[in-house]
Amino acid sequence: MTVKTRLYVDQPLGEGNRVSLTQPQAHYLFGVMRLAVGGAVALFNGRDGEWRGEIIEAGKRKGVLECTLQSKPLQMPPDVWLCFAPIKKTRTDFIVEKATEMGAAKICPIQTDYTNSERIKQERLQAHAVEAAEQCGGTYVPEVTSLQKLSAFLDHWPSKRQLMFCDETELGAATSLAAASRGPWAILIGPEGGFSPSERKRLHAMPEAHVVSLGPRILRADTAAVAAMTVWQAALGDWA
């Protein structure tokens, strides 16, 4: 029987392991989803795959589940980071959710010269990544890193990680990913105002950078993130 309710837990999963629920988790399962003792939940923790958890205790503020069998092995995403400049709250939430659904291994908020938002709530964004993984059937939850300045981020760029640099000014001159090699990658999306001239100059000079255009129309930052993930996944990711 298919288990429809999925739950991320930060506890070890394995045959016979018991998982204690937090108060919000107990409220969700027993108050919102109306599950009861004997019911089943699909559990995952980002490390041990997905396990069928049978409810053996159910209360208003707590509950216990027991792992009975593994329903999915751990499915790691491709080694690709999505790096983006934060925008308005709900649209930043959207980017984190869609990046998780589309298979980002890490999500990196970046402060550029033209970034409007100077702070993020990392814990809240990480929670959105968890919720997206629960909804899309994933067994891995990408880390949402703290906000970093683009200059510092590039100062410590790993030489073996290639960079898909999405530059809206390069229509017609951008390179294709068709001949690019697989391996560690990152995708960089700029803010609503684009990259500054100095940022663009530095990025173009990077030997790891592959300049890519996302078409003849200027996309909103959240749309650009989804479009860029789609282009990369179709060429080099686990869709190809």
Q: Are 67 and 19 in contact (CB under 8 A)?
A: yes
Domain boundary among 72, 107, 126: 72
pTM of the model: 0.92
Lowest mean pLDDT among 57-61, 90-94, 178-182, 215-219: 178-182
Question: Do residue 94 and residue 63 come from a single domain?
Answer: no
Range of the domain at 197: 80-236
How many domains, in total, are found in the chain? Answer: 2
With CA atoms as reference, report the closest residue to 185 among 127, 136, 228, 139.
228
Judged against a pLDDT cut of 70, whether residue 239 lies above it is answered with yes
The reply to whether 1 falls in a domain is: no
Averaged pLDDT score across all residues of the chain = 93
Question: Do residue 68 and residue 85 come from a single domain?
Answer: no
Question: Do residue 175 and residue 147 come from a single domain?
Answer: yes
Question: Do residue 117 and residue 207 come from a single domain?
Answer: yes
* Cα–Cα distance for residue pair 216/227, rounded to 1 Å: 13
pLDDT band at 164 (very low <50, low <70, confident <90, very high): very high
